[in-house]
Amino acid sequence: MKNTLLSLALGAICLLSVNSLAGEEGSAKPKTYGLGLPRDLETLSIADEAYPHWPLRKEQAAYADVSGARMKEWVRKISAISLRSQADGNMYWGRLPGTVYDVMTMEIMTDEFKRLGFVTKRVPYVIPSDWTPKFWEASYTVDSKPVRFESAFPVGKTAPTPTQGLTAEAVWVGIGAEPDFLGREIKGKAVVIYSTFVPGGRSHSASSRARIFDANKRASEMGAAMVINVMAVPGNGQFNPLGAPSAKYGVPLMTISQDEGFALRDVLGSGKKVEISLKLDIEIRKNIKTANVFATLPGASDEEVVIAAHTDGFFQGSMDNASGLASALEIARFYAVIPQAERPRTLVFLLFPDHHHGEVGMKAWEKNYNWDKVALALTLEHNSQTQLYWYNDDLMTSNTIGAFRWNALGSLRFINIVTDTLREYGVSIYTEMNPKPKLTRQAPGFHIIDHVIYHTTLDIPELVPAEGMQRSTRAFLSIIDQANSLSLEELRASTN
């Protein structure tokens, strides 16, 4: 299995083919619209050595051995498991709970923790149900010629079509703001909405999550037969934003790439009648068997530092969350070589496989865990991403590490340690803190998270810089070490 994973990791990148307007085999190369991903990865890919290196000061020398290159190899290995899922013929692919790819991910992580000297424990549980698309196909017809949507992807928890599928006339409503619907006949139509990232693959302007236009919900309420979101990202990517508000109305919601959406726009702009056909089969899987994995390294006391990372991911899931898993292994490696007497607190790692599928096991554990002796709870998630720019009709990469959404919970002294240390190690964060902790409110904790490319086929190793993982992981270690010099009372003191 390891040879297979390595070959996939080093050599496999799935670039979607974009259909031509004629939809015929052997037809001319389809029109594209600016530089985009993943189709222009060869042009837009940034070598790891091209990112500016953040040097360590003398007092930070303890973390000099933290290796971004080593973490990048883990990102590739973990991403390769997802590629194996795709290669096995799964349309809905990635590291999904209760699948063989879930098991493979947990196995390589558990094996490495054991090799580093951690005691591991597998705790099985059952996910009661999980929404899973099994098959879909989408196309449009113009002048009696069918054109297949190669990039079509169902939005999480959307409604299925009838067994025979749906066919409806297409109507373009722009960004889907309320004025865009005025005077438009929507009932029974295939409503096409252009949706922009705000800021990423899960939150986009047509979604209810964004709280901007609520376009998908509005189209569903007005009786649309189906809703198509043209995702405003140059290229031929696929997108799984999750959370389809149209589901309760029985309206299927699909995403397509900008390449294919603009080709459709061009045809609609010519005044020709276009019909969209969609067939979508959904399965609700029941009683899915999976497990949390705990890895423990005893310290000089029974007080704990708890570190959590989810193992599931859509598509390759390189940033979300292979990057977090790679950082976990680097932190484990750092502390494993320190004598137990010199580790002030016990390290407990939690790997959980259903972050995108309800967090059933993690929530049950969090609710019942004894947090009285937990000094710090750290969630490792999305800790390095290439900064992307929308540059006219191009999607542009850069040799800059993106800034992060963040949260810190605990005493003012602890929060200041978090923000100061992130800055000192070259980790940029948003001006305003997100109010929601990732793991628990029952102990001091913090996290950072980038969220542009996640839940898309842009979430690939090439957009997860080794330099970014190196900076963030060094900062995490420094924060842990500083927290370990403080008492539980000093970490938990009220900020009021």
User: Looking at residue 29, what is its pLDDT?
Assistant: 72
Which one-letter DSSP state was computed for residue 146? Answer: E
pLDDT band per the 50, 70, 90 thresholds, residue 487: very high
Domain 2-128+287-492 maps to which CATH number in 3.30.420.40, 2.102.10.10, 3.40.50.80, 3.40.630.10? 3.40.630.10
Residue 247 near residue 211, CB atoms below 8 Å: no
**What dihedral do alpha carbons 248, 250, 256, 258 form, nearest 10°?**
-70
User: pLDDT at residue 4 above 70?
Assistant: no
User: Looking at residue 383, what is its pLDDT?
Assistant: 97
User: Looking at residue 50, what is its pLDDT?
Assistant: 98
pTM: 0.93
User: pLDDT at residue 1 above 70?
Assistant: no
User: pLDDT at residue 485 above 50?
Assistant: yes
| CA dist., res. 75 & res. 323, Å (int) | 6
114: part of which helix (H) or strand (E)?
helix 100-115
Which one-letter DSSP state was computed for residue 57? Answer: P
User: Looking at residue 309, what is its pLDDT?
Assistant: 98
Q: What is the pLDDT of residues 368-406, one digit of tens each?
A: 999 999 999 999 999 999 999 999 999 999 999 999 999
Residue 475 near residue 427, CB atoms below 8 Å: yes
Q: What is the pLDDT of residues 414-434, one digit of tens each?
A: 999 999 999 999 999 999 999
pLDDT band per the 50, 70, 90 thresholds, residue 494: low
Q: What is the pLDDT of residues 447-478, one digit of tens each?
A: 999 999 999 999 999 999 999 999 999 999 99
Q: What is the pLDDT of residues 96-116, one digit of tens each?
A: 999 999 999 999 999 999 999
Domain ranges of the chain: 2-128+287-492, 130-284
Domain 130-284 maps to which CATH number in 3.40.50.2020, 3.50.30.30, 1.10.268.10, 3.40.720.10? 3.50.30.30
303-324 burial, b at 16+ Cβ within 10 Å, e below that, comes to bbbbbbbbbbbbbbbbbbbbbb
DSSP 181-231: HTT---TTSEEEEEE-BSSSSS-BTTSGGGTS--HHHHHHHTT-SEEEEEE
User: pLDDT at residue 11 above 90?
Assistant: no
pLDDT band per the 50, 70, 90 thresholds, residue 206: very high
